[in-house]
Amino acid sequence: MNSSTTKTRSEIGNLKREQTQQLLIAAAMKCFARIGVATTKTNDICKAASVSRGTFYNYFTDMDDLIISVFQKIHDDVDVLIHNPAKDIPRGPECLAVTIRWFFQKAHDDKILGKLFLYANEFHNKEKFEAVFKNKLEEDIKAAQKRGFFDKDDIDVEIATDVIKGITYRGIQSIVQGTKSPSDAPLYVKRMFMALGMNSAQLSNLSSYISHNQNMI
């Protein structure tokens, strides 16, 4: 058996493993839609994916591990749909605003994802979910601070993160409930940056930037 054959078989094995993992994630999303995130069990997912429990545990330690993988997929979608194509968007408030608008639009277009976002806020392993998104969020907060968008130079990144998560959560909740739409995203973004100490002139400039770049993603 030569090395090229071994490599090919290894690549095929990795591809099959990736496909099975994605099959389980897709099955989980279907179950979340049908019976809810909190009430979905391992057996429900195995049945939906037509795999054995043994196969499930070859890929995930438990349900929490699967849910984190679903969140990771959402994170990857954000990277693909926002951070990569929109690489010209400055890191900081502009990128934060676009990301939040993306989440609002997703919650509107796909109610299952919207409910999953909400569930994440109540997830008992919440810190694992937050860790998936933490680095990008903190990077934008620090960039905004460095560029002088906040009146206070010593703004606490952790507190700022909590403010952003809280306001975004309330916005998504309203969208899932049908009382708000993605077009309300600029209002939530404005409230968010006002809470973080952005002055009116900076808010006005940011609003103008967003208005002139509606198709940036």
Position 20 scores a pLDDT of 93
Cβ atoms of 70 and 25 within 8 Å: the answer is yes
Q: Are residues 171 and 112 both part of a single domain?
A: yes
SS3 of 3-20: the string is: HHHHHHHHHHHHHHHHHH
Backbone angles phi, psi at 23, to 5 degrees: -60, -40
Is position 11 within any domain? yes
Q: Is the dihedral of CA 36, 116, 125, 48 positive or negative?
A: positive
- What is the distance between the alpha carbons of residues 210 and 91, in angstroms, rounded to a whole number? 14
Residue 176 has, within 13 A of its CA and on its CB side, a CA count of: 18
Residues contacting 194, CB < 8 A, separation 6+: 203
Given 9, 39, 60, the domain boundary residue is 60
Reduced to 3 states (helix: H, G, I; strand: E, B; else coil), residue 156 is: coil
- What is the distance between the alpha carbons of residues 41 and 15, in angstroms, rounded to a whole number? 26
Owning domain of residue 55: 1-60
Q: Are residues 20 and 114 both part of a single domain?
A: no
Position 217 scores a pLDDT of 47
Position 199 scores a pLDDT of 83
CATH, residue 197: 1.10.357
pLDDT digits 0-9 by tens, 149-188: 876 667 788 888 888 888 988 999 999 899 999 888 888 8
Total tally of structural domains belonging to the chain:
2
pLDDT digits 0-9 by tens, 84-124: 555 677 888 888 888 888 888 888 988 777 877 777 666 65
Position 69 scores a pLDDT of 85
Asked if residue 126 has pLDDT above 70, the reply is no
Q: Are residues 191 and 95 both part of a single domain?
A: yes
Asked if residue 80 has pLDDT above 60, the reply is yes
Rg for the chain (alpha carbons), in Å? 20
Q: How many CB atoms lie within 10 A of CB 72?
A: 16
Cα 110 from chain centre: 13
Q: Are residues 70 and 138 both part of a single domain?
A: yes
pTM: predicted TM-score of the whole model, two decimal places: 0.72
Given 60, 86, 107, the domain boundary residue is 60
pLDDT digits 0-9 by tens, 20-73: 999 999 899 888 878 877 788 999 999 999 999 999 999 999 988 888 888 777
Position 2 scores a pLDDT of 53
Residues found in the chain: 217
Q: Are residues 110 and 14 both part of a single domain?
A: no
Cβ atoms of 98 and 214 within 8 Å: the answer is no
Q: Over the range 92-106, which residues count as b (16 or more CB within 10 Å of their CB) and which as e?
A: bbbbbbbbbbbbbbb
- Alpha-helical regions (H) of 110-156: 111-122, 126-146
Cβ atoms of 184 and 104 within 8 Å: the answer is yes
